[in-house]
């Protein structure tokens, strides 16, 4: 398993999201209630990136991940689509951990 450091923990504050890229794979990170979640930055509906601007992956309430192209909404904790054309499908989750002041993901 290939583990990569994506960013410093302090670069992902509570309620925030950010994008990252490893070996040509686009990722998104979200911190919620102190925990970091990592997913491939790829909408299951069209296979396109989710953000509308760099590091902007959340809806207005910052409680759901939102696809900027067609408005699909995904649960932060599971990646499951709860509204939109891909309802019932999920984002591809990646193993993620915090250690030594950084956020690490396993591809």
Burial status of residue 4 (CB atoms within 10 A of its CB: 0-12, 13-18, 19 or more): middle
The pLDDT > 90 percentage for the chain reads: 87
Q: Can you tell me the distance from the alpha carbon of 86 to that of 92, in angstroms, rounded to the nearest whole number?
A: 13
Give 79: exposed, middle or buried? Use CB within 10 Å, 0-12, 13-18, 19+: buried
Q: Which CATH architecture has domain 3-106?
A: 3-layer Sandwich (2.102)
Distance, in Å, from the CA atom of 107 to the CA atom of 95, rounded to the nearest integer, reads: 8
pLDDT band (50, 70, 90) for residue 23: confident
**Each residue's pLDDT tens digit, 54-95:** 999 999 999 999 999 989 999 999 999 999 999 999 999 999
Cβ(24)–Cβ(42) below 8 Å: no
Domain boundary assignment for the chain: 3-106
Collapsed DSSP state (helix, strand, coil) of residue 20: strand
User: Mean pLDDT over all residues of the chain?
Assistant: 94
The whole model's pTM is what? 0.94
Cβ neighbours, 10 Å, residue 86: 19
């Amino acid at each position: 398993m290939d583990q990569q450091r994506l960013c410093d923990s302090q670069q992902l504050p509570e309620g925030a999201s950010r994008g990252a890229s490893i070996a040509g794979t686009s990722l998104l990170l979200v911190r919620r209630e102190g925990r970091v979640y990592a997913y491939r930055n790829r909408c299951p509906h069209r296979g396109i990136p989710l953000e509308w601007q760099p590091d902007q992956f959340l809806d207005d309430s910052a409680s759901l991940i939102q696809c900027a192209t067609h408005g699909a909404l995904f649960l932060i904790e599971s990646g499951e689509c709860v509204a939109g054309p891909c309802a019932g499908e999920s984002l591809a989750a990646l193993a993620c951990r915090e250690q030594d002041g950084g956020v690490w993901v396993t591809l």
